[in-house]
Structure 1
Amino acid sequence: MAETTTIQVSRHARDHLAQVAKERGMNLGQLVEQLASEQLTADQIAERVAATRKVLRERMGCTLTDEEFDQGPDVLANVYAMAAEKMHALRGKAA
């Protein structure tokens, strides 16, 4: 069994989390473990971003640089549009 420790929170937070855990059919420790596993660290996010960009470049022919990806919030929407255009083109060739 994993070593355990104590986390101090307000009584209100504890009671709220205990109710959420009860509704999900788990104990408070299990809920906290689940919540912790769902939260990525900055390093984990950076790894996922790098991996996603690599896939976009290698498999989708995306030519955006890291700087271009970082410049705007609409880059992801543009990538989706590029992917949609590519799919439409491929479907047009198959017809």
Structure 2
Amino acid sequence: MATTSIQVPRETRDHLAALAAERGLTLGRLVQQLAAQVLTEAQIAGRLQADRAAARRNMGIDLADEEFDQGPDVLSNICRIAAEKVRAARGTAA
């Protein structure tokens, strides 16, 4: 695999080196993992289109992109419900 160098402030390099050491990684491997966690706009758009295509296929209906955009935010609703259940199990209020 070809490698390259990047220039960052010394403090950033030291911080990344400390994170890498804590995880038992090389600095290059840490940067590679961090970069893999953040999607580009093109990757996000591609995943969105793939997810919508799967939803259309599984639901058996052909919703337009605009209809998806106007629909409820299902993931946020799932996260909200899960958080409410955790709080209820712990006996804490929202």
What TM-score do the two structures reach when normalised by structure 2? 0.68
Tell me, in whole angstroms, the C-alpha distance in 2 between the residues paired with 1:44 and 1:68: 21
Q: Deviations over 1:61-91 (max 9, x none)?
A: 465421122246x3335996xxxxxxxxxxx
Q: Secondary structure at the match of 2:20?
A: helix
Instruction: Quote the Cα distance in structure 2 between the aligned partners of 1:24 and 1:52.
Output: 33
Aligned length: 78
Instruction: Give me the identity figure in percent.
Output: 53
Return 22-31 or 56-65, whichever deviates more.
Answer: 56-65
Q: 1:30 offset after TM fit, Å? A: 0.6
Task: Report deviation, 1:37.
Answer: 1.8
Q: Return 5+ residue gaps in structure 2 as ranges.
A: 79-94
Structure 1 length as normaliser, TM-score? 0.68
Question: Structure 1 residues 28, 76: CA separation in 2 closer, same or farther (over 3 Å shift)?
Answer: same
Corresponding residue of 1:76: 74
Q: Which runs of 5+ in 1 are unaligned?
A: 81-95
Match of 1:23 in 2: 22
Give the superposed CA RMSD. Answer: 2.5
**Runs of 4+ with >2 A deviation:** 60-65, 68-72, 74-80
